[in-house]
Amino acid sequence: MAIGKYHVTVSENLPEGSILPKNMHDTFNLYIHDEIVPILHGTEEQINSMAHSLAPDAIAFGTQKNSLYEVNIACEIEGRIFYKQFNFYAVNPGFYIIISFLCLIQRDFTGNSRNEASS
């Protein structure tokens, strides 16, 4: 992701509940606003907090402060709740004035959360 733009590389076998972008090239803001915010699950306060944590300014601040900026979200997809994690890593820390590149890794920990809930 470079200053709001992203490029996605994915495998052909997407898991159930995938939240990968529908468009392979677009802006991160559109992806979050159009595809992630509408499926966030929780109270209004929790949804606002998750959406704020995924805003570009919050990500830039988080990756400047730490090498890893992590955001956990709950989302409802086709009537089921999935728990996802966004991990943002600064590729060139300290060069935010010129251009910033971030690496985003999405992880699904739904199974772990369901196992913990049933214990």
- The domain of 58 spans 20-118
Q: Which of 2-11, 29-38, 46-55 reaches the highest mean pLDDT?
A: 46-55
In a domain, 11, yes or no: no
- Residue 5 domain-assigned? no
Does residue 52 fall inside a structural domain?
A: yes
In a domain, 88, yes or no: yes
Look at residue 110 and tell me if it is in a domain: yes
Exposure string over 23-50, b if 16+ CB within 10 A, otherwise e: eeebbbeebbeebbbebbbeeeeebeeb
The total of structural domains in the chain comes to 1
CATH for 32: 3.30.450
Model pLDDT for residues 54-70, shown as the tens digit of each residue: 998 898 888 888 878 89
The answer to whether residue 65 sits within a structural domain is yes
